[in-house]
């Protein structure tokens, strides 16, 4: 009986405590820069899309909300013909970001995605692509990777040696 009275008193005293509620629309909570929110597609330092349409993100996605189609430019670069994310299915897990080999997919702290129509939550490449480079400035896949494209043969990438001529006997 006494413990019940003490409980009642202690609960009553909570009336004068500071409230924990964050008054959301007026008072935004702090979201860390690496908070996993909405996906963006970034560009490399030259302003080209980083995405090479490798489909790894679509494979990694546990809810299968990413759909894309590869196409190839005349200079030999791969690009997505379309890149579509259905954010009504997306669970913001960030597995696509981890799977992405070119840092194209990056998660941003933007979480405020509300629509009255579900169709409006399907984002296309134009909606997703940003002009900047995101969290990894200066990185360009085609300049680092040893893949040959127009204007850059094999072995011409950064930190890459020319290819070994296996037919030669010289070391």
Partner 1 sequence: MVEMELLFKISVLVLTLLPTAALLVWLERRLLGFWQERYGPNRVGPFGILQSLADLIKILFKHDWIPPFADKPLFVLAPLIGALAVMMSFVVVPLSPGWMISDSHIGLLFFLAMTSLAVYAVLLAGWSSNNKYALLGGMRAAAQTICYEVFMGIALLGVVILAGSFRLSDIVEAQQEWWFVIPQFVGFAIFMIAGIAESHRLPFDLPEAETELTGGFHTEYSGIKFALFFLGEYLGIMLISMMTTTLFLGGWLGPWLPPLVWFLLKTFVLICFFILLRASLPRPRYDQLLAFGWKWMLPLALVNLLVTAALKLSGGT
Task: Provide the annotated binding site for [4Fe-4S] cluster.
Answer: 51, 54, 57, 61, 90, 93, 96, 100
DSSP structural state of residue 57: H
Q: Which residues are annotated as a binding site?
A: 51, 54, 57, 61, 90, 93, 96, 100
Contact between 104 and 41 under an 8 Å Cβ cutoff? The reply is yes
Helix, coil or strand: residue 122? strand
**Cα torsion for 34, 36, 38, 44, to the nearest 10°?**
40
How many chain residues bind partner 1 (CB under 8 A)? 14
Residue labelled with tokens 């094999």: 154
Closer residue to partner 1 in complex, CB, 4/168: 4
Helix, coil or strand: residue 80? strand
Closer residue to partner 1 in complex, CB, 10/119: 10
Out of 19, 119, 161, 167, which residue is the one contacting partner 1 (CB under 8 A)? Answer: 19
CB of 12 to partner 1, least distance (A): 6
Closer residue to partner 1 in complex, CB, 1/169: 1
Task: Give the separation between CA 106 and CA 100, rounded to whole angstroms.
Answer: 9
- Our finding on whether 26 is near partner 1 (CB under 8 A) is no
- Our finding on whether 4 is near partner 1 (CB under 8 A) is yes
- Our finding on whether 167 is near partner 1 (CB under 8 A) is no
Out of 2, 20, 74, 162, which residue is the one contacting partner 1 (CB under 8 A)? Answer: 20
Give the contacts of 102 (CB within 8 A, at least 6 positions apart).
Answer: 50, 51, 52, 54, 141
**If DSSP states are collapsed to H, E and C, what string results for 2-38?**
HHHHHHHHHHHHHHHCCCCCCCCCCCCCCCCCCCCCC
Out of 2, 18, 27, 119, which residue is the one contacting partner 1 (CB under 8 A)? Answer: 18
Chain residues that interact with partner 1, rule: CB under 8 A:
4, 7-8, 10-12, 14-15, 17-21, 23
């Amino acid at each position: 009986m006494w413990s019940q009275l003490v409980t009642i008193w202690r609960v009553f005293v909570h009336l004068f405590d500071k409230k924990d509620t964050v008054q959301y629309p007026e008072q935004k909570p702090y979201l860390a820069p690496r908070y996993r929110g909405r996906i963006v597609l970034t560009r490399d330092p030259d302003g080209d899309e980083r995405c090479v349409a490798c489909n790894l993100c679509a494979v990694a996605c546990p809810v299968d909300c990413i759909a894309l189609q590869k196409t190839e430019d005349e200079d030999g670069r791969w690009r997505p013909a379309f890149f579509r994310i259905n954010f009504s299915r997306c669970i913001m897990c960030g597995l696509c970001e981890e799977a992405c080999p070119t840092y194209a997919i990056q998660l941003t702290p933007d979480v405020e995605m509300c629509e009255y129509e579900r169709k409006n939550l399907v984002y296309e490449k134009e909606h997703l692509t940003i002009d900047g480079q995101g969290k990894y400035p200066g990185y360009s896949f085609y300049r680092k990777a040893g893949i040959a494209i127009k204007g850059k043969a094999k072995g011409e990438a950064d930190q890459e040696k020319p290819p070994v001529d296996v037919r030669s006997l010289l070391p």
